[in-house]
Amino acid sequence: MRKRILILPGDGIGPEIVAEAVKVLDCLRQDFGLNLEMDEALMGGSAYDAAGHPLPDATLALAREADAVLLGAVGGPKWEQLDISMRPEKGLLGLRSELGLFANLRPAILYPQLADASTLKAEVVFGLDIMIVRELTGGIYFGQPRGVRTLDDGQRLGLNTLTYKESEIERIARVAFDIAMQRERRVCSVDKANVLECTELWREVVSGIGNDYPQVELSHMYVDNAAMQLVRAPKQFDVIVTTNMFGDILSDCAAMLTGSIGMLPSASLDAGGKGMYEPIHGSAPDIAGQGKANPLATILSVAMLLRYSLDEPEMAERIEKAVDEVLDGGLRTPDIWSDGCREVGTVEIGDAVAAALSGQ
Ligand code: NAD
């Protein structure tokens, strides 16, 4: 059946890296019969400039109709002075909540060819393959009441609220256990149950769901310990499941274990498997328009899109294999360059991935 995806290039390096991802999709369509239709729309700062809003209605409508969305990145200094409701990032948050994308999957994989790029010793990270499953539409980022108010004594009080309903915990836990079933079958649930009642409930509910997955080994860890363990012995983890804010912080930490922000993809999924896929990095305004950006995180996001939303695991593997081959061949964009490798630009490395794919 013909699938439909929506492409949102976004701002900064977004259009450059997305062009390479589209090249890879075109190659899969032409050489391997991938049955796919692609639409393109504006989101973020470019949408504000053209349509006066970071998430125009037309973009939202196309996103709702699509089977999956591929995003480059949004934001940049040009839009930082806008009212917060009109900033590019609001478009992204709006899309996540409008589409009900509650599960954020962030793999942290170390490519052996890039072991030297990590700030940790090679033996600590060699072979690293962690999947962080972060709850994305609840928790303290969304809880009410929130805001800054003035107290009777004239002082200002800043307030945010951590809330989780049982159903919100249950559905993210199921995502984590389902993913673990396809991996090493280990889930570590990260909370702060010794201090926060809300995460005491989190622990209890995750344990309950764990009973439905007897093949999966479940452990629990406090978030402060998890942060320490991630840099001490990261390979002990298979799947980590955690709340919105803890996941935000821990997934950035895990990403840097691999040493290369330009290599890591991500997926945000709804209850039916529809998702938005994007590299974990931002719009990199410092290198935008220079042809230097690494498109591999975006290309690997396409692989996730094929695996999780289009049910095309073989096509996903083809992409991952092609990226591996290109790295084996020694081509590197400047962010992952090291001695003995050949430095190339965005388009050249995208061409190399497409050529490796065609050659399979
Ligand atoms: P950033 O990730 O854009 O850049 C951080 C550093 O990493 C920069 O030096 C950049 O050049 C480099 N970098 C990032 N991606 C790269 C790539 N593919 N290849 C090579 N180098 C790369 O983070 P930032 O500078 O903090 O943010 C810039 C803008 O991006 C801000 O407006 C921010 O709000 C936005 N942002 C957007 C998203 C998103 O769209 N999902 C995520 C994070 C930040």
292: phi then psi, degrees, rounded to nearest 5: -105, -15
Of all protein residues, the one whose alpha carbon is nearest to atom 27 of ligand 1 is 282
Ligand 1 centroid to 200 CA: how many Å?
35
> Helix axis angle, 346-358 relative to 296-308, nearest 10°?
40
What burial class does residue 232 get, using C-beta atoms within 10 Å of its C-beta: 0-12 exposed, 13-18 middle, 19+ buried?
exposed
Ligand 1 centroid to 286 CA: how many Å?
9
With CA atoms as reference, report the closest residue to 267 among 256, 251, 253, 283. 251
**Which of 261, 268, 323 is the best mutation target for the ligand 1 pocket, counting ligand atoms within 8 Å of the beta carbon and taking the most?**
261
Pocket of ligand 1 (CB under 6 A): 13, 17, 73-76, 89, 92, 261-262, 278, 281-287, 293-294, 297, 335
CA of 296, closest atom in ligand 1: 18
- Contacts of 73 by beta carbon, 8 Å cutoff, 6+ apart: 10, 11, 12, 13, 14, 17, 44, 278, 279, 281, 282, 283, 284
Residue that is written with structure tokens 């977004």 in the block: 14
Amino acid 258: pLDDT = 86
Higher pLDDT, 352 or 123: 352
Ligand 1 centroid to 280 CA: how many Å?
8
Of all protein residues, the one whose alpha carbon is nearest to atom 6 of ligand 1 is 284
The pLDDT of residue 76 is above 80: yes
CA of 284, closest atom in ligand 1: 3
Amino acid 255: pLDDT = 86
The pLDDT of residue 260 is above 90: no
The pLDDT of residue 93 is above 90: no
Min mean pLDDT across 189-203, 213-227, 256-270 is at 256-270
The pLDDT of residue 112 is above 90: no
Same fold, 1-111+261-360 and 129-257: yes
To the nearest whole percent, how much of the chain has pLDDT over 70? 100
The pLDDT of residue 194 is above 80: yes
The pLDDT of residue 259 is above 80: no
CA of 297, closest atom in ligand 1: 18
- The SS3 call for residue 225 is helix
Q: What is the DSSP letter of 67?
A: S
The pLDDT of residue 117 is above 80: no
Q: What is the pTM of this model?
A: 0.91
Rounded average pLDDT over 143-171: 97
- Contacts of 167 by beta carbon, 8 Å cutoff, 6+ apart: none
Amino acid 293: pLDDT = 97
The second-level CATH assignment, the architecture, of 1-111+261-360 is 3-Layer(aba) Sandwich (3.40)
The pLDDT of residue 183 is above 90: yes
241: phi then psi, degrees, rounded to nearest 5: -120, 135
- Contacts of 275 by beta carbon, 8 Å cutoff, 6+ apart: 68, 69, 101, 267, 268, 269, 304, 305, 308, 309
Domain 129-257: which CATH number of 3.40.630.10, 1.10.3720.10, 3.40.718.10, 3.20.20.120: 3.40.718.10
Amino acid 261: pLDDT = 84
The pLDDT of residue 207 is above 90: yes
Which residues are known catalytic residues? 141, 192, 224, 248, 252
Of all protein residues, the one whose alpha carbon is nearest to atom 36 of ligand 1 is 282
Tens digit of pLDDT for each residue in 19-70? 999 999 999 999 999 999 999 999 999 999 999 999 999 999 999 999 999 9
Domains of the chain, residue spans: 1-111+261-360, 129-257
Tens digit of pLDDT for each residue in 292-331? 999 999 999 999 999 999 999 999 999 999 999 999 999 9
As a whole number, the mean pLDDT across the chain is 95
Rounded average pLDDT over 191-211: 98
